[in-house]
């Protein structure tokens, strides 16, 4: 078995933040970068010292020495690009969501099986400090029996400046940040969903996708479990400080996400006891070469610049994602966010929006 994974990063906006992590990972090689715009491609390549550069994704996939691609492109491109890579015999890491339709999700699950390659949806929410902390409490039995879980991802993208495809996007079509912590913590898949829409976004936004709702809220039934989950998602014309959160209610302790940024989450114990806690960093779980990337900035001595990673990369998740992908491929195991799991997380949101558009009809989520 090879001890190094040769990775090409595709899409260099947000995706460029992963370059120095791959460069420092002891079992990865930042083999190439790919971007349609040559000027941006060369700027990033020069900045990070990556010599192999491609403006054509098709040409990149023809390279026999390339092992894997990490896709960070606009949402609609995720599924077709991931499918093309699997069919070309490459391992795939892809930012969220997996796809925009149920059919695409199911095709990707089948493509992973047929190819024998690894697919991983790079879901930041299941590698944040907060999630790893709650998961640790659960694994240690400190929460007791899980009784209820709630996820919320509220964001106001109404101001100009985002790529055009975002405006009017159905909220639940980008719900994996709120869905995945609940399902992964419970260790269950979503079986069905009932969702209602609330409010209305401006008409100009409605026209693009035909989705009128300002907020979508769903109740999710879990398979082989007595648990239900609540998921709330908003994107436009709803005022709230950014919140990408989850709450966990157990028979012994409960965990609630901070109400506003900087407050700190709360642990409830006993009957009335409540304590704000400082969530630890989990860099110690990583190879020492990339552990510093859980923090906000890392100085690159070779290229003499600081790689600034906002918020330590979504709650310190970025180096954990890279390490999970690289080691899963090299060890021949399924990663967190493998195709079947990613499909369930993604289809929960897609089916939730379908339910909302049908006035709250229960929608059964296809099995994978």
- Predicted confidence at residue 297, as pLDDT, reads 55
- Predicted confidence at residue 299, as pLDDT, reads 47
Mean pLDDT for the stretch of residues 29-52? 97
C-alpha to C-alpha distance for 241 and 322, rounded to whole angstroms: 29
Percent of the chain with pLDDT over 70: 95
- Predicted confidence at residue 271, as pLDDT, reads 83
- Predicted confidence at residue 272, as pLDDT, reads 86
Q: What is the pLDDT of residues 204-237, one digit of tens each?
A: 999 999 999 999 999 999 999 999 999 999 999 9
Domain segments of the chain as ranges: 5-124+286-338, 126-282+346-364
Contacts with 160 (C-beta within 8 Å, 6 or more apart), sequence order: none
C-alpha to C-alpha distance for 29 and 7, rounded to whole angstroms: 6
C-alpha to C-alpha distance for 126 and 135, rounded to whole angstroms: 9
CB atoms within 10 A of CB 269: 14
Global pTM reads: 0.95
- Predicted confidence at residue 310, as pLDDT, reads 37
Query: Is it the case that residue 296 has pLDDT exceeding 80?
Result: no
Q: What is the pLDDT of residues 134-174, one digit of tens each?
A: 999 999 999 999 999 999 999 999 989 999 999 999 999 99
Which of 3.40.50.1820, 1.20.120.1200, 3.30.360.10, 3.30.1330.10 would CATH assign to domain 126-282+346-364?
3.30.360.10
- Predicted confidence at residue 311, as pLDDT, reads 38
Q: What is the pLDDT of residues 247-282, one digit of tens each?
A: 999 999 999 999 999 999 999 998 889 999 999 999
Mean pLDDT for the stretch of residues 53-69? 98
5-124+286-338 and 126-282+346-364 in the same fold: no
Domain covering 5-124+286-338 assigned CATH 3.40.50.720 in the classification: yes
Percent of the chain with pLDDT over 90: 92
Mean pLDDT (the chain, rounded): 95
Q: What is the pLDDT of residues 306-329, one digit of tens each?
A: 444 433 579 999 999 999 999 999
C-alpha to C-alpha distance for 100 and 19, rounded to whole angstroms: 26
């Amino acid at each position: 078995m090879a001890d190094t994974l040769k990775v090409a990063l595709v899409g260099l906006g947000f995706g460029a933040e992963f370059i120095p992590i791959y460069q420092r990972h002891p079992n990865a090689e930042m083999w190439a970068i790919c971007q349609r715009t040559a000027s941006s491609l060369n700027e990033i390549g020069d900045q990070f010292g990556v010599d192999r550069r491609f403006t054509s994704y098709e040409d990149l996939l023809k390279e026999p020495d390339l092992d894997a691609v990490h896709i960070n492109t606009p949402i609609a491109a995720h599924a077709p690009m991931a499918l093309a890579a699997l069919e070309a015999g490459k391992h795939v890491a892809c930012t969220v969501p997996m796809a925009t339709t149920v059919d695409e999700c199911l095709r990707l699950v089948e493509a992973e099986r047929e190819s024998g390659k690894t697919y991983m949806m790079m879901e930041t929410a299941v590698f944040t400090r907060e999630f790893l902390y709650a998961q640790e409490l659960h694994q240690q039995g400190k929460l007791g029996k899980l009784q209820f879980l709630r996820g919320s991802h509220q964001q106001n993208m109404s101001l100009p400046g985002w790529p055009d495809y975002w405006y009017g996007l159905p909220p639940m079509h980008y719900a994996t940040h709120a869905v995945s912590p609940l399902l992964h913590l419970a260790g269950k898949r979503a079986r069905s969903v009932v969702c209602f829409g609330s409010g209305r976004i401006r008409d100009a936004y409605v026209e693009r996708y035909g989705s009128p709702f300002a907020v979508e809220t769903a109740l999710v039934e879990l398979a082989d479990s007595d648990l239900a989950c609540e998921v709330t998602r908003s994107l436009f014309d709803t005022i709230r400080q950014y919140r990408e959160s989850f709450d966990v209610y157990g028979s012994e302790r409960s965990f609630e996400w901070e109400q506003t940024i900087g407050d700190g989450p709360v642990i409830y114990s006993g009957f009335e006891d409540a304590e704000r806690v400082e969530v630890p960093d989990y860099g110690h779980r990583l190879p020492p070469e990339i552990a510093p990337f859980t923090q906000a900035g890392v100085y690159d001595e070779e290229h003499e610049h600081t790689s600034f990673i906002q918020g330590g990369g979504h709650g310190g998740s970025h180096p954990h994602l890279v390490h999970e992908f690289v080691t899963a491929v090299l060890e021949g195991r399924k990663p967190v966010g493998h195709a079947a799991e990613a499909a369930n997380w993604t289809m929960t949101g897609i089916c939730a929006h379908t339910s909302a558009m049908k006035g709250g009809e229960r929608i059964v989520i296809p099995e994978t």
